[in-house]
Amino acid sequence: MNFSVKKPSVPQISEEIIAFCYLYKDKDEKNKCLLTAEHLHLIKGGRHTVFELWELREVGFQHKKILAPLVSGGISASLGSIALINYFANPWLMLSICFMGVFLFYHGWRGSPTLSMVTSIKEDHFMMRSISNNLSSFIHYVNQYLESQRFPEKRMFYASLSPEKWEKEKEVILKKGFEFVENKPLMLYTYAQLQYHRQQSKHRIFLAIDPVLARCEIRFERIGKDGLHPFAYGSITPESIIIPDDNHSKKISY
């Protein structure tokens, strides 16, 4: 399963899709999350919930106790224990009720991971079966996108080139963008990864790529112990590329 930045086939959403991620497994159209320029769409169990981006303060994960089994389990276990002591006609039934209550109480106390949408006035929590690395990367990107109104560089992806390659292919890149080579996707970096990579590769040229204008699918894939990295599966349009300063410094101009 990959967290992708592209426009999937979603007939019920008329907006341009910036990024999307399946919640649990690939091609599960009833469980996915989609980011557009103005909304965050959550489709869970086929139920569609829409959040205005200007209202969202943060999107993240929490761990919540489940109230219903916690309460019902506590009551069942307590009543089952009392009945087991005072009602001797059918002790196995009372013992079963008692154990079932303990199990429900434990299940509620252990809780479940939740996907949480935080606005200025309320929090919405959606119970999740599990949290995948792909979903974590997607939510991280959503939060960066929410911050991009103040810090536009945080929603960008970045391509790394040697100074020699940049000088050699500069005119082609500015005219045609990055052309996709079959089975050789272009490795990119997120803003957070860029900060680390700059320290390790001080003489590289970094080109910022706007995912909204790139018009290609960008997948997050695992690379060894380095975690998830974005890869461009398709040609990147020249309109989406923001070139570095003329002095070829590491800083990107916006």
Q: What is the pLDDT along the chain (254 residues), one digit of tens a residue?
A: 455 555 444 446 777 788 888 898 888 889 999 888 889 999 998 899 999 988 898 899 988 887 787 788 788 877 777 777 776 667 777 777 788 888 888 777 777 889 999 988 888 989 888 888 888 888 888 888 888 777 888 888 899 888 888 888 888 888 888 888 777 888 888 888 888 777 766 678 889 998 888 878 888 877 766 677 888 888 898 888 987 654 333 333 32
Q: CB within 8 A of 113, min separation 6: which ones?
A: 61, 62, 63, 127, 128, 130, 131
Q: Cα–Cα–Cα angle for 18, 22, 28, nearest 5°?
A: 125
Q: Cα–Cα–Cα angle for 193, 176, 206, nearest 5°?
A: 25
Where on the phi/psi map is residue 227: left (φ > 0), alpha (ψ -120 to 50), or beta? left
Q: Which CATH class is domain 154-242?
A: alpha beta
**Of 1, 41, 46, residue with least CA distance to 17:** 41
pLDDT of the residue at 246? 42
Distance CA 211, CA 17 (A): 10
Q: CB within 8 A of 122, min separation 6: which ones?
A: none
Domain locations along the chain: 4-56+128-147, 67-110, 154-242
Which 3 state secondary structure label does DSSP give 205? strand
pLDDT of the residue at 244? 60
**Of 9, 8, 228, residue with least CA distance to 132:** 228
pLDDT of the residue at 51? 92
pLDDT of the residue at 117? 92
DSSP assignment letter at 48: E
Give the residue carrying structure tokens 């018009």: 215
Distance CA 123, CA 253 (A): 37
Record the pTM.
Answer: 0.66
Give the residue carrying structure tokens 């045609």: 176
DSSP assignment letter at 238: G
Q: CB within 8 A of 38, min separation 6: which ones?
A: 15, 52, 53, 54
